[in-house]
Amino acid sequence: MSEYKGIRGFKVQTLSTDPVASAFSGGTWSSGGSLNTGREQLAGTGTVPAALAFAGNATGIPSSTLTESYNGTSWTEVNDLNTGRSRLGASSSGPNTATIAISGGAGATNIANTESWNGTSWTEVNDVNQVRVLFASFGLQTAAIAATGEGPPGGAPHLAAVESWNGTSWSEVAEVNTPRREVPGAGVQTAGLIISGNIDPPITTNVESWDGSAWTEIANVNTGRNNAASSGTQTSALTFGGYTGTVLSNTEYWNGSTWTEINDLANASYVSGFGTGTTTAWKAGGLLPGITAVTEEFDAPSLFSKQNLGQVYYNSTANAFKVTQQSVASGTWSSGGSLNTARYGGYGLGSGNSNNLNFAGYNVAYQSLTESYNGTSWTALSPMNTARYNPGGGGTVSTAALAFGGATASNLANTESWNGSAWTEVNDINTARRGFGSFGTQTSTLGVGGYTTAIVNNVESWNGTSWTEIAETNENKTDSYGAGSSNTSGLVTGGTNPGGQTSNTETWNGTSWTEVNNLNLARGFLAGAGLSSTAALVFGGENPPPATANTENWDGSSWTELNNLSTANANGSGGGTNISAISAAFQPPPTGSSAIEEWTVPTQNQTITVS
C-alpha cells in the first residue's frame, strides 16, 4: 500500500489577536484614576503616566484655578493658577513639570493672561496680543503656538490670527486658511496641526498643517467635530471625542498622510482636558454631557502583528480562521481637498484617490484646465490646447492620458495626448461628438456612443496613432460611464437613450458587445471608477433631475447598492477603482463645484466560514 507523505500545502500563522495596520490601530482606551474635581473646558499637558490638568469649569466653581498632577494611578491637587479661567490653551506637547496656560475666559470676560508652570507653582508672564477662547494650541513651555479660536465677546467669532511664543513674548505669525473655534491642536512650534472645529455653521472636517512659517490644508478627518481633544505630532496624531449635536467617542489616527478610525473612547465626551504623546495619550474631565471627573488612557502596543492584505491566519483566542481583505461593501465616502477651480462636465481618471487627473469642463466658459491630485491637494498643470466640455478620455494614471471630442459652441473631434507635463494634438476622432462612455489608456482607448445631432451608438477604437470605427453598442446612449483599462475589454453603463435615462449595461470583449445585468437605478450624467470589466463603481447622476447620491458596485455579474455620496451630484467626474476612487467637479451651473469626495475601502480581518 502506498504511503503518502509531504502533502502539499502552506503554513498558517497562529495569532492570539488580529493583526492591525499600525501600533496605533491596535491601541485601546482604558480607565485611569478620576480627577479630584470634575470639570470641563480645562487644559492639560504631559504623557501617561505623568500628566497635568488645570483650570476649567467645575460644578459650583466656574473658571477655576484648580491644578492637579497625575502619576498614572491617581490625581493630586497642587498649587493653583493665579487667574481662574476656562476655554484656555496650553503648551500641550511638553512634560507635566513645564507648561504655560494661555488666555481663556473668566466668566463673561476673556483674559489675555499667560502663566508659566515650573513643576511647583504658576508665574504670570507676558500676555497674548489677541485675547481668545476655544482655540488650538500646542508646543512647549518656551516655544508654543496659539491659533484661531474666538475673540472677545461681541468680537470676531472666528479668528484667523496666530501667535508664536518664544519663552518671553508673543509675536503674530501667518494666519490660518480657515478660521474656526472649538478646535484642538497637536505638535510643536515649528510643526503642528489644527484639526476640525466649528465655522458656525457648519462643523468642518478641514485639517491644516503648520511648518513654522505657513499653514497648508491637508487630508480631512473622517468625522468633523467641535470641542474634541488631540494628542501627538504633525506626522503621528490622535483626535478623539467631541460634539456634532451628539457627543462622540470616535478616535482617529493620523499617520502623516491619512486619518483612520481606531478604537473608540469608553466614555463619549467633549470639552475635556488632554495630554500628549506619540504612543500614549490621555483625556480627563469634560462633559458626558454632565461634568465628569473620568480619566481615560490610550496605549498603542509596542509589539503587534502587522496587517497584510491577503494574509490567512488562525486566531487562537477567537478559535477561528481569518483572512485580511477589502470588502467593497464596507467602503465609504469622505471629503477630500478641493479643486483649485470649480467646474462641471469635465473628465477624471487615475489609479485611485491619491492619483487622479481632472481636465476640461465648464465654469461660465468652456475650460482647458488640467489639475492633478496627490491625495491631499490639487496642483494646476499645463492647460489643454482646446477648451471643451463633456469630452471622452482614457488613462489609468495621472501622468499618461488621452482626451477627445467634447463640445464648445459645437461638437469637437480634436484629440489630445497627455505625457504628464503637456498636452499634444494627435489625430482626430472620426465623428465629432460629446457625452461619451469611454475607457482605456493613453494608447488603447474606446470612445462609445455620445451625441452628434442625435444620440448615437457609434464606437471608435484608438491604437495610439489613429481612430477606427468598430462594432456598435446594442443601445444608442449618451452621457454614460465606461470602465476598462484597454480597447479590448470593458463596459459601458447608464446614460441617456432616446427615451430618457437608462440602466442598460453592456460589456465589450474586443469583438462584440453583450447586454448584461442593468444598474439598479437608471441615470444619465453619472460618473464612476473602474479599470476592469469585472470591477467598477458608479455614483451620482440624474434620474431625471435632480441629482442622486446613489453609489453602485459591479462585481462582474451584477450591480449592488453601496454607501451613498455625502452630496448628490450630476455631470461630475470620477477616476480610480472600486477600492479607491474620487468624485469631483459637478453641477450646479454656471460655475460648478470644487468639492471632492474620496471613496475608500478599509482593510479588514474577516472570519472564514464554510458553507
pLDDT in tens, 431-466: 999 999 999 999 999 999 999 999 999 999 999 999
What's the pLDDT score for residue 9? Answer: 60
Grid cell digits, residue 583: 468624485
SS3 string, 359-415, reads ECCEECEEECCEEEECCCCEEECCCCCCCEECCEEEEEECCEEEEECCECCCECCCE
d(CA 177, CA 69): 36
Query: Rounded mean pLDDT of 270-293?
Result: 87
pLDDT tens digit sequence for 218-264: 988 989 999 999 999 999 999 999 999 999 999 999 999 889 899 99
Say if residues 223 and 208 touch (Cβ distance below 8 Å): no
Residue 380, number of CB atoms within 10 A of its CB: 12
316 burial type by CB count under 10 A (0-12 exposed, 13-18 middle, 19+ buried):
exposed
| pLDDT mean over 601-608 | 92
Pinpoint the residues of the chain covered by CATH 2.120.10.80: 24-299, 330-601
Which residue type, as a one-letter code, is found at position 117?
W
Task: Give pLDDT tens digits for 155-185.
Answer: 778 999 999 999 999 999 999 999 999 999 9
| pLDDT (tens digit per residue) in 13-48 | 999 989 988 888 889 999 999 999 999 999 999 988
Buried b (16+ CB within 10 A) or exposed e, 543-555: beeebbbbbbbbe
| Residue with the three cell numbers 489613429 | 466
pLDDT at 10: 66
Q: What is the DSSP letter of 174?
A: P
- How many angstroms separate the CA atoms of 459 and 569, rounded? 27
What pLDDT is recorded for position 532?
A: 94
Half-sphere exposure of 428 (CA within 13 A, CB side): 11
Give me the percent of the chain exceeding a pLDDT of 70.
98
SS3 content of the chain, % helix, strand, coil (to 5): 0, 45, 55
**pLDDT for 178:** 94
pLDDT for 1:
43
Which among 338, 89, 93 is positioned nearest to 206, based on CA atoms? 338
pLDDT tens for each residue of 401-429 = 999 999 999 999 999 999 999 999 999 99
- Residue listed under C-alpha cell 489643454: 384
* Residues 317, 32: Cα–Cα separation, whole Å: 26
Arithmetic mean of pLDDT over the chain:
94
pLDDT of residue 337: 85
User: What pLDDT band is residue 553 in, cutting at 50, 70 and 90?
Assistant: very high
Q: Which CATH fold topology does 24-299 show?
A: Neuraminidase (2.120.10)
pLDDT at 368 over 80: yes
β-strands 295-299, 332-335 pairing: unpaired
The CATH label, of 3.90.1150.10, 2.120.10.80, 2.40.50.100, 3.10.580.10, for the domain at 330-601 is 2.120.10.80
Q: How confident is the model at residue 7 (pLDDT cuts 50, 70, 90)?
A: low
The pTM score is 0.74
In terms of Cα–Cα distance, which of 528, 584, 572, 577 is closest to 547? Answer: 572
Burial class of 142 by CB neighbour count within 10 A (0 to 12, 13 to 18, 19+): middle
Reported as a single tens digit per residue, the pLDDT across 306-336 is 899 999 999 999 999 999 999 999 999 988 8
Q: In what side-by-side order are the strands of the sheet with 580-584?
A: 332-335, 596-600, 580-584
